[in-house]
Structure 1
Amino acid sequence: MTITPEAFSDVERHGLYRAIRERRDVRSQFLPDPVPPDVLARLLQAAHHAPSVGFMQPWDFIVIDSVDVRRQVHAIFERENAKALENYAGDQASLYKRLKLEGILESPLNLCITCDRSRGGPHVLGRNSIMEMDMFSVCLAVQNLWLAARAEGIGVGWVSILDQQELAATLKLPDNVYPVAYLCIGYVSEFLAQPELQAKGWRSRLPLEELVHGNGWGQPLENDPLQEALRNLAAAA
């Protein structure tokens, strides 16, 4: 293996991959303990160091500790969750009803990460062909925060069952600002060994080796060492 002066040490590299592997979408395990301001500041700094198209940094962070605001958001979730249940029937509907899909009121802190679609002006470098690149950039900020939180022993849950227009009105967002991620944040009693939806039988993780293509969709890999490496990783998991 080639080692460069910029490579992380074995311990540092292990920590990074551990955070990726053990990150969880937390819904049920939140503790009431507050997140210290210096820890929250580090998480926000990690998010702010995400890459962004044209270095436009389209994100803003709305820290929500008001119980009243969180109750309003929870009411939006309740309405949208009832609508979502209508998509399922039979055993799947029964399982859906049992799933805990948010921690809006249980977590000590909520955070909304938004995208200012006008930031950087009308012509942002790198955004000429794919206008959604600003939204993708915000998703990278979310992931940065999520991994940093796991390293700090803090759980994060993304609540996606929300009407975005109602959420924007509740948080008084300007017309050019879109609420990308509504997150529940806090210390937890445990990090589950498996993603909760996998543990509850909703879905299983897809085999990575079935998702890697060679030089075009559906084409087999011609790189035998990579195939072997993928098989070895799957066997070690």
Structure 2
Amino acid sequence: MNTFSDSEIAAVYKAIEERRDMRHFLPDPVDPALLARLLHAAHMAPSVGFMQPWRFIRITDPALRLRMHGLVEEERINTAHALGEREDAFMRLKVEGIRDCGELLVVALMSQRERHVFGRRTLPEMDLCSVSCAIQNMWLAARAEGIGMGWVSMFDPASLSALLRIPADAKPLAILCIGHVAAFYPRPMLEQEGWAKRQCLQDLVSENRWSEGGDEDGDKHE
């Protein structure tokens, strides 16, 4: 049995704990070899039925990058309006680094997914879960490499698909901002800004049946 050393195990947990959704980037370019390693890490992710439903589009056209930023800005405003009384607080948040990051990727679900039923007959959304695993792999690898990454989800999928000529039966899920950063946030940015806080793990774990509080009686822990 192959085992990891204590330092290797600690490094895995360190990457998990210090991973951040980055929105502030330096304009420095990303080494192509490093980008290749990150894409390889994503491609090593598990996938239901080994269907490997992830598709990556690298954006190198500056004009296209600006048009994508426009789509995100449009949805940012729509999201702000939908938040009601939190609209002003939301508009003060920085939610993306599309114009600043060294590399910009779009991650999409593959086309013709309906052919894959292994593991998806009752849970068709497992292809989405598989792509999420690929993105998380890339995120952790980026953090270990000292490279920032941010997942942008504020866009209309149909509009982005039209812009990038994505097939009608495929679907974009993420715009990934990747690049060098001055520093990683000491805590998740939304926690730092007082938008939300991390929930207590014990309130999210139950045994044998659903429990809102994480304990057998369903009562909240004090």
Residues 221 and 37 of structure 1, relative CA distance in 2, 3 Å threshold: farther
Q: What letter is aligned with 1:10? A: D
Kindly provide the amino acid, as one letter, of the partner of residue 54 in structure 1: G
**Alpha-carbon distance in 2 for matches of 1:144, 1:122:** 26
Q: 2:130 aligns with which of 137, 153, 178?
A: 137
5 Å-filtered alignment, 1:1-237, equals 5-28=1-24, 30-90=25-85, 92-119=86-113, 122-218=115-211, 220=215
Partner of 1:235 in structure 2? none
Q: Which amino acid aligns with 1:122?
A: R
- Once the two structures are TM-superposed, the CA of residue 221 in structure 1 deviates from its matched residue by 5.9
Q: Secondary structure at the match of 2:91?
A: helix
| C-alpha distance in structure 1 between counterparts of 2:130 and 2:162, whole Å | 23
Verify the 8 A CA contact 1:65 1:108 in the aligned structure 2. Answer: no
- How far residue 8 of structure 1 moved from its aligned partner, in angstroms, is 1.4
Report SS of the residue matched to 1:197.
helix
When structure 1 is superposed on structure 2, of 204-213 and 92-101 the one drifting more is 92-101
Structure 2 Cα separation of the partners of residues 124 and 211 of structure 1: 31
CA separation in 1, counterparts of 2:83 and 2:173? 26
Quote the RMSD (CA, aligned, Å): 1.6
- Specify the SS of the correspondent of 1:86: helix
The one-letter code of the counterpart of 2:53 is: P
- Cα displacement string for residues 28-86 of structure 1 (whole angstroms, at most 9, x for unaligned residues): 2x011111111000000000000011111111110112211111111111111111111
Q: TM (normalized to structure 1)?
A: 0.86
Q: TM-score, normalised by structure 2?
A: 0.92
Q: Which one-letter code corresponds to 1:80 in the other structure?
A: E
Q: Counterparts of 1:130 and 1:188 in 2: how far apart (Å)?
A: 38
Give the superposition deviation at 1:117: 4.1
- Do the aligned residues in 2 keep the contact of 1:50 with 1:137 (CA within 8 Å)? yes
Q: Note the residue ranges of structure 2 that are not aligned, 5 or more in a row.
A: 218-222
- CA distance change for structure 1 residues 37 and 129 in 2, over 3 Å: closer, same or farther? same
Shift of 1:20: 0.5
Matched with 1:229 is none
- Structure 1: where are the runs of 5+ without partners? 223-237
SS of alignment partner, residue 173 of structure 2: strand
Q: Is the 8 A contact 1:85 1:96 kept in 2?
A: yes
Q: Mark the CA change 1:128 to 1:35 in structure 2 (over 3 Å): closer, same or farther.
A: same
Q: Which amino acid aligns with 1:154?
A: I
Q: How many residues in Structure 1 have an aligned counterpart in Structure 2? A: 215
Counterpart secondary structure, 1:69: helix
